[in-house]
Structure 1
Amino acid sequence: MISPASIEQVFETARVEEVIGDFVNLKKAGSNFKGLSPFSDERSPSFMVSPVKQIWKDFSTGKGGTAVSFLMEHEHFTYPEAIKYLAKKYNIEIEETEQSNEQKEAADTRESLYLVSEFANTYFQKIMHKTDQGKSIGLSYFKERGFTDETIKKFDLGYALNEWQAFTDEALKKGYQLEFLEKTGLTIVKEDKRFDRFKGRVLFPIKSMSGRVLGFGGRILINDKKAAKYVNSPESDIYHKSKVLYGIYHAKQSIAKEDNCFLVEGYTDVIQFHQTGITNVVASSGTALTPDQIRLINRLTKNITVLFDGDAAGMRASLRGIDLILEQGMNVKICSFPGGEDPDSFAKKNTLEELTLYLEENSKDFIQYKASILFEESKNDPIKKADTIREIINSISKIPDTIKREIYIQECSKIMDISEAVLFTTLAQINKKESADLNKHHKNEQQAFDVIRHEQPEHKVDVQYLLERKIIEVLLLYGNKTEDFEDLVMKENDKGELILEPVIQQAKVFEKVFLDLQEDEMEFSNTQFKTLYYTIIDTLNQNPDFDLNTFINKVDPDMSSEITSILMEDERYKLDDWQRMSIFPKEKTQSIAQLVSETILSLRCYLIEQKVIEFQQKTLANKIDVNRSVLEEVKDYSSLKMLLSRKLNRVL
């Protein structure tokens, strides 16, 4: 268990914009930050971070909360893990008691897989640095590749003994269960036999964006025609190779800072670039590039530079992934190295200045690069040239931005020596076909939706829900403030007429809300709001120095998420960047006292109206005569509503 004092220190120190900034490329939007949602596939920002309130809200999925809840949601941390992660990030020493064997056994499957992977990572490093076999084979290999001790440590490189079950035996000895060793793929179990997957290989740990070990890539060091050169961890609950990029943990900050990401193919390409001094680089780890991997980069930057090996076959194969990048609305450049060179070997032979200069001078826009490569292959064959042009236009059709598409058409026209009109016609044909396919798909979906829609009752605005939500917002933002509240009291004037006379009373906002609601015996209809209401009132009563950030951090995650949604609702319009279109939304100028009075009076008016409707429905349902007592009660409620409406009008 982590001590309360340590948790409080973490919350006081951690900044939500800094924590989320490690995972999402945030841009200033007034007093807030905005960015692309890390939880959904989107091209327009719907993710908002408030440094003032120290909370975040993802309007595309409805998720929200604090820095801790973000880590729990995004990285699938448990609460203690999120606290430890933040403590490490901010160099905070935390006090905690040792976990018992029972607590270890109680950890869920996912957490057990992480624990096993972390143990394996430490074990493989220890074997490489502390054993004769590890030093002479594993460490020697990395040294021969030109990696320094600092680089080897930075990337947690390791080695597995060339023995059938050395790792498995050690893990079992340390108390790790065979079930989880098998699920991570570290141990292969066949009938009653078990052996190490990475036997005799050097190891490259594959980490998440937050630095958790998800799996491993292992390279064999002996010539064995029956064995694969590289072996990766199999898919598991924590490792999905299509959603992971090697090096993203070490590269995320520099990618956002440089506003560009270099994409390479192998582990050693990434490591050698880092050692040379270029750190905004990641690898697809030998797998075909996937949309999930591209979206991972898209959170940090809109710009990708794909680095190809010098051989033509490799370049041709890699070109297929470019269309996927374009579909995500990203800007793509391509750079290839001289024949026989790859990013690893080229970086090893050149200084940082030489490598940087080469990348700047040889990175071409994708259309220039693709056209020049394909043009060379087809310039003497008219049929091939036509196919090449069609292939390039097909790539251009993937770009969401209309202006970019037109510019690329113009570039293609110059390179391929063909009129823009023909290219635009071809583009229109491709778009028409895609549009027809999309409309057909949409029509089928719409028919299914219409069936569902006709079965659904008409959706009505829940006025009481909105007003109760507004009361919670008022208490959270202004509950402890002291305000002058104006109330209208019925008095008789000199002529004997009843008039409303203003009376000023000073009170704390939460006291005013509580007393007004109690006076009318009003209860919240929404269960969650009711719980929140009494929790807030109780906290404000007991703690005069109410701090919103501390309060959010101490409530349970479900309540924290609801609080975040309420507090960030007013920030939604800022995502649309209306100022850019010379539209300036009005800021709130309403006084706090006015807002409180208006909200409570509106709720009272609504509840009275519902009471009158209830009388009407009961009368009709029972088919009884309307007696005098019912009429009197309806009359009283109507008079009260009229009085409240007059007060409400005065407040407004």
Structure 2
Amino acid sequence: MISQNSIAQVFETARVEEVIGDFVQLKKSGSNFKGLSPFSDERSPSFMVSPVKQIWKDFSSGKGGNAVTFLMEHEHFTYPEAIRYLAKKYNIELEETERTDEEKAQADTRESLYLVSEYANTYFQKILHHTDQGKAIGLSYFKERGFTEETIKKFQLGYSLDEWQAFTDDALGKGYQIEFLEQTGLTIVKGEKRFDRFKGRVMFPIHSMSGRILGFGGRILINNKKAAKYLNSPESEIYHKSKILYGLFHAKQSIAKEDNCYLVEGYTDVIQFHQTGITNVVSSSGTALSPDQIRLINRLTNNITVLFDGDAAGIRASIRGIDLILEQGVNVKICLFPDGEDPDSFAKSNTLEELSTYLNENATDFIQFKASLLVREANNDPIKKAETIREIVNSIAKIPDQIKREVYIQECARIMDISENVLFSTLAQINKKETAEASKSYKPAQPAFQVVKNEEQSKPKIDVQYQLERKIIEILMLYGDRTEEFEDLVMQEDEATGELILEPTKHEARVFEKVYLDLQEDEMEFTNPQFKVLYYSIIDKLNQDEDFSTKNFINQLDQDAASLITSILMEDERYNLHDWERNQIVPKEKKDSVPQLVSQTILSLRCHLIDKKVAEYKNETLKEDADLRIIIEDVKEYLGLKMLLSRKLGKVVS
């Protein structure tokens, strides 16, 4: 168990923008940051982070919270795991007691898979550095590849003994269960027999974006035609190879900083680049590039440079991934290494300056690269040249941005020496065909009969009281501890005319006191149970704590209440996503008119409650034993009160 003091220290130290910035590329937007949602596929930012409030909100998925809830949502951490991750990030030493056997038994399957994987990673490293076989075979191999001791430790490289069940026996001896060893793929179970999957291989651990061990890649070091050269962990509840990029954990900050990501093919390509000094590089680990992998990169940058080795045969197959990148709206460049070289060998034989210069000078726009490659294949054959042009236009058609498509069409026309009109016509034909095919495949369900709804009935009803109660919670959270000058309108008799008029009187008060006293005056109660609990919690906290902190208050709530508060506080930030100021539209800040906002909200709630009371009286008149005279008198009083409140409300609004 982690002590409350340690948890409080973690919450006090962690900065939500720094934590989320490790996973999402954030850009300044006024006092906030915005970025692409990590929870949905989008091209326009709907993800907002507030450094002032220390909370975040994803408007596309509805999720929100603080730094801990982000890690729980994004990385699927448990609460203690999120706290430990933040403690490690901010170098905070946690006070915690050893978990009991009962607590260990309660750990769910997912956590057990992580624990097994973490143990395996530690085991393989220990074997590499501290056994004769590990040093003689595994460590020697890595040293031959040119990896330094520092690099080997940074990437947590390891070795699995060339024995049938050395790892399995060790893990079982430490209390790890065979079902989890099997589910992670570390152990192969066949009846009563158990085998180490990675027997006799050097090990490359595969990390999540936050650094958790998800799986492994293992390379065999002997010539065995029956065994695959590289072997990856099988799919499991924590390892999905199409959603993971090797090296992303080590590269994420560099990718965001450089605003570019180098994409290579293998583990050693990534490691060698890092050792040379270029760290914004990841690998698809020998699997075909997937949309999920591209979206992972797109959270950090909109620019990808694909690095191909000099093997011409492999380029043609790999180039299909470029169209996939274009479909995701990401800018893509290609860099081809000299014949016989790959990213690993080229980085190993060149200095950082030489490697950087080569990448900058040889990174080509995708259309120029694809055109030159296909033109060489066409070899002046007119038919093949026509097919080449169509293939290039097919790639351009994948780009969602219309302006980029037009620019690329112009570039293609220049390179291929062909009319722009012809290319635009071909592009239109491709788009028309794709639209027709999409329409053909979409078959809406045919209802047996159609119900015609009244337009008024189909409109969603707005719960006015819910919205006003929600607004009161927002006011208390944002401005509750502020002292403001309020103007109350008091009914008085005009000495000259004898008529009743509204006379303004001014007084200073803290916002939460003003709200509380106004609601108490009419004995108004919250109808929403969640709002009711939050209301009294906030009032109590503001009454006791002069240094009220939104961040500290949220951190003390349970996850549901924290999520609700976050949604309320971040609702207005949605409008900051539209960059109004860039369009010379400067909306008025709420904080500039807090007294007016408070009075308007309370008066609106009073008017609404009167309307509800009048509606109740109308229902009373339908009863046989109703005393209409008394009901009419009461309704008159309420309507008179509403007229007075409406006059006050009108003055507040104006």
Same fold (TM over 0.5): yes
Question: Which residue of structure 2 aligns with residue 147 of structure 1?
Answer: 147
Q: Find the aligned partners of 2:552 and 2:491 in 1 and give their Cα distance.
A: 42
State how 1:100-499 maps to structure 2 within 5 Å: 100-440=100-440, 444-445=443-444, 457-494=458-495, 497-499=499-501
Match of 1:547 among 546, 549, 560: 549
Q: Find the aligned partners of 2:359 and 2:451 in 1 and give their Cα distance.
A: 55
Q: Find the aligned partners of 1:329 and 1:61 in 2 and give their Cα distance.
A: 21
Give the CA deviation at 1:106.
Answer: 1.0
Give the CA deviation at 1:532.
Answer: 1.3
Q: Find the aligned partners of 2:262 and 2:533 in 1 and give their Cα distance.
A: 50
Q: Find the aligned partners of 1:531 and 1:543 in 2 and give their Cα distance.
A: 18
- Quickly say closer, same or farther: Cα 1:448–1:35, change in 2 above 3 A: farther
Give the CA deviation at 1:297.
Answer: 0.3
Q: Find the aligned partners of 1:584 and 1:161 in 2 and give their Cα distance.
A: 66
**Structure 1 residue identity aligned to 2:466:** Y
Q: Find the aligned partners of 1:542 and 1:355 in 2 and give their Cα distance.
A: 61
State how 1:553-564 maps to structure 2 within 5 Å: 553-564=555-566
State how 1:513-552 maps to structure 2 within 5 Å: 513-552=515-554
163-172 or 430-439, larger mean C-alpha shift: 430-439
**Structure 2 residue identity aligned to 1:510:** F
Q: Find the aligned partners of 2:649 and 2:592 in 1 and give their Cα distance.
A: 14
Give the CA deviation at 1:420.
Answer: 1.3
Q: Secondary structure at the match of 1:70?
A: helix
Question: Which residue of structure 2 aligns with residue 600 of structure 1?
Answer: 602
Give the CA deviation at 1:33.
Answer: 0.9
Q: Secondary structure at the match of 1:321?
A: helix
| Per-residue CA distance 1:330-384 (angstroms, 9 max, x = gap) | 1100011111211111111111111111111111000000010011101332222
Pairing 1:642–2:643 present = yes
TM-score (norm 1): 0.96
Question: Which residue of structure 2 aligns with residue 575 of structure 1?
Answer: 577
Where do 5+ consecutive residues of structure 1 fail to align?
Answer: none
TM-score (norm 2): 0.96
Q: Is this contact kept in 1: 2:28–2:34, CA < 8 A?
A: yes
Match of 1:588 among 582, 587, 590: 590
Q: Secondary structure at the match of 2:57?
A: strand
**Structure 1 residue identity aligned to 2:633:** E
| Per-residue CA distance 1:130-181 (angstroms, 9 max, x = gap) | 1111111111111111110000000000001111111111111111111111
- Quickly say closer, same or farther: Cα 1:499–1:419, change in 2 above 3 A: closer
Give the CA deviation at 1:307.
Answer: 0.4
**Structure 1 residue identity aligned to 2:303:** N
**Structure 2 residue identity aligned to 1:483:** E
Q: Is this contact kept in 1: 2:325–2:332, CA < 8 A?
A: yes
- Quickly say closer, same or farther: Cα 1:589–1:481, change in 2 above 3 A: closer
5-14 or 265-274, larger mean C-alpha shift: 5-14
Q: Find the aligned partners of 1:59 and 1:5 in 2 and give their Cα distance.
A: 33
**Structure 2 residue identity aligned to 1:640:** L
Q: Is this contact kept in 1: 2:620–2:626, CA < 8 A?
A: no
**Structure 2 residue identity aligned to 1:378:** A
**Structure 2 residue identity aligned to 1:328:** Q
Q: Secondary structure at the match of 1:97?
A: coil
| Per-residue CA distance 1:247-268 (angstroms, 9 max, x = gap) | 0000001101111000000000
**Structure 1 residue identity aligned to 2:17:** E
- Quickly say closer, same or farther: Cα 1:74–1:448, change in 2 above 3 A: farther
| Per-residue CA distance 1:533-585 (angstroms, 9 max, x = gap) | 12212222332322111101111111111111111122111111123333333
Give the CA deviation at 1:441.
Answer: 5.4
Question: Which residue of structure 2 aligns with residue 83 of structure 1?
Answer: 83
Q: Find the aligned partners of 1:453 and 1:240 in 2 and give their Cα distance.
A: 46
Q: Find the aligned partners of 1:400 and 1:426 in 2 and give their Cα distance.
A: 16
Give the CA deviation at 1:439.
Answer: 4.2
50-59 or 584-593, larger mean C-alpha shift: 584-593
Q: Find the aligned partners of 2:386 and 2:591 in 1 and give their Cα distance.
A: 63
| Per-residue CA distance 1:189-221 (angstroms, 9 max, x = gap) | 111111111111110000011100000001111
Q: Find the aligned partners of 1:116 and 1:345 in 2 and give their Cα distance.
A: 34
**Structure 2 residue identity aligned to 1:592:** V
Q: How many residues align?
A: 650
- Quickly say closer, same or farther: Cα 1:449–1:519, change in 2 above 3 A: farther
Question: Which residue of structure 1 aligns with residue 66 of structure 2?
Answer: 66
Q: Secondary structure at the match of 1:139?
A: helix
**Structure 2 residue identity aligned to 1:237:** E
Q: Find the aligned partners of 1:274 and 1:538 in 2 and give their Cα distance.
A: 53
Q: Find the aligned partners of 1:581 and 1:300 in 2 and give their Cα distance.
A: 26
Q: Find the aligned partners of 2:549 and 2:445 in 1 and give their Cα distance.
A: 49
- Quickly say closer, same or farther: Cα 1:283–1:432, change in 2 above 3 A: same
- Quickly say closer, same or farther: Cα 1:91–1:448, change in 2 above 3 A: farther
Q: Find the aligned partners of 1:485 and 1:363 in 2 and give their Cα distance.
A: 63
Q: Find the aligned partners of 1:66 and 1:53 in 2 and give their Cα distance.
A: 9
Give the CA deviation at 1:13.
Answer: 1.4
**Structure 2 residue identity aligned to 1:468:** E
Q: Secondary structure at the match of 2:461?
A: coil
Q: Find the aligned partners of 1:260 and 1:525 in 2 and give their Cα distance.
A: 52
- Quickly say closer, same or farther: Cα 1:547–1:227, change in 2 above 3 A: same
| Per-residue CA distance 1:405-464 (angstroms, 9 max, x = gap) | 11111221122222111111100101111223344556x449789979959843122211
Q: Find the aligned partners of 1:19 and 1:232 in 2 and give their Cα distance.
A: 30
- Quickly say closer, same or farther: Cα 1:498–1:412, change in 2 above 3 A: closer
Q: Secondary structure at the match of 2:587?
A: coil
Q: Find the aligned partners of 1:64 and 1:618 in 2 and give their Cα distance.
A: 44
Moved over 4 A (4+): 439-442, 445-457, 622-626
**Structure 2 residue identity aligned to 1:227:** A
Give the CA deviation at 1:623.
Answer: 7.0
Give the CA deviation at 1:502.
Answer: 3.0
- Quickly say closer, same or farther: Cα 1:206–1:448, change in 2 above 3 A: farther
